[in-house]
Amino acid sequence: MIRTVTALRRGPGRDYLVFGRMQRPAPIDGIETIRWEYDGKARAVPAVFQAAWQPPDSPAVGGAGSGGFGVVMANWTSDEQTVTITDPRLGAKATLHLAARTLESKAIDISDHGATVSLPPLSSALVAAEKPGSE
């Protein structure tokens, strides 16, 4: 887990996670809650942690597809987790940077129903809005 988070933080997520500003959370569906008991107390933690970020070189995040917006997620469990992001700040196209055994990046389309992302066990990901004029 530390290796995947570090790869994302040093790589494509650097502008967001190191120099960026945290934004209001993105609406994400499908995050399972992991429950267990330890030492007589019940515990409950989301299987996927997430936060929204704005890199320093972008104007204030405004309308859909304004660029300069990203959602970072981390799956700390030993199971694959599939979530759907439905945030208009991502626009219609984004790039998915997935840090698992390797670091992979690919363009994704975002429909009216959002973007579905599968996170392998112990992985982290950045879904970054396409910047204007980068087509």
Where in the chain are the domains?
A: 2-58+69-129
CATH class as words, domain 2-58+69-129: mainly beta
Question: In terms of Cα–Cα distance, which of 122, 71, 111 is closest to 95?
Answer: 71
CA distances from 96 to 10, 34, 72 (A): 16, 25, 10
Question: How far apart are alpha carbons 61 and 70 in whole angstroms?
Answer: 10
Side-chain half-sphere exposure of 73, counting CA atoms within 13 A = 32
Mean pLDDT by 10 residues, the chain (135 residues): 94 94 96 96 97 83 62 97 96 96 95 95 96 60
Stated pTM of the model: 0.88
51 torsion bin: left (phi>0), alpha (psi -120 to 50), beta (else): beta
Dihedral class, residue 10 (left if φ above 0, else alpha if ψ from -120 to 50, else beta): alpha
**pLDDT recorded at residue 88:** 94
CA dihedral of residues 71, 62, 93, 22 (deg, nearest 10):
-10
